[in-house]
Amino acid sequence: MIKFIVKIREFAGKLLGKGEHIVIVDTVAETVSKPSDNWSDQTPQLEVKFKNDEGTLTHWFQLKGFMQAKDYPNGKAPKGIVFRSSENGNEQYAVDIKTNERIESEEKTETCMTILGEFAGACGLKEGSSITQKALEGAEVGIGVRLRADDKVEYHYSKPAADVKTSVETEG
């Protein structure tokens, strides 16, 4: 017998359209990426849900960065490493054959932390302070939203709310 867990999906309303928006950080949670058939590890993330009167948007800040084929000389895998494509096919990640895990890049992880730090700064956190759920939730921040190639909207950047020039296009 298969046991199912029933969960009612909350209606989040319209998605924020492309442009800049002043939003509130509604919720913050530590999560991991979806499982992949191509490697066994999952990327730790900070899931941030934004909202305002026009709509909502969720963004997942990556907390780790990984080596890719383009990071190796001539794009050739060293012994014990294979390159495997992401689900969207845009990246070729370096995967350890023995562990089936992607190889972390200190430089790319540092970039992830810089992006998260810049977001926290735009939310009003002072330099050197800890980035916590309590510190971020309820913060007012400006975000830029762009259209992806598949015509879906996505978070692009953050800035202090006072620096936002709003231009609203809602997606539904």
54 is a domain residue? no
* Residue 36 falls inside a structural domain: no
Contacts made by residues 132-135, CB under 8 angstroms, sequence distance 24+: 133/28, 133/29
Tell me whether residue 118 is in a domain: no
Domain count, the chain: 1
In a domain, 30, yes or no: no
Of the pLDDT bands very low, low, confident and very high (cuts 50, 70, 90), residue 6 is: low
- Does residue 101 carry a pLDDT above 70? yes
Does some domain include residue 26? no
Mean pLDDT of all residues in 1-28? 76
Residue-level pLDDT at 158: 97
Q: Is residue 168 part of a domain?
A: no
Nearest Cα neighbor of 41 from 89, 116, 101, 127 is 101
Residue 169 lies in a domain: no
The whole-chain average pLDDT of the chain stands at 90
d(C-alpha 75, C-alpha 81), whole Å: 12
Q: pLDDT per residue over 119-153, tens digit each? A: 999 999 999 889 999 999 999 999 999 999 889 99
| 75 is a domain residue | yes
Q: Average pLDDT for residues 84-102, to the nearest whole number? A: 92
Q: Is the pLDDT of residue 172 over 80?
A: no
Q: Is the pLDDT of residue 8 over 60?
A: no
pLDDT score at 86 = 86
Boundaries of domain holding 90 = 66-103
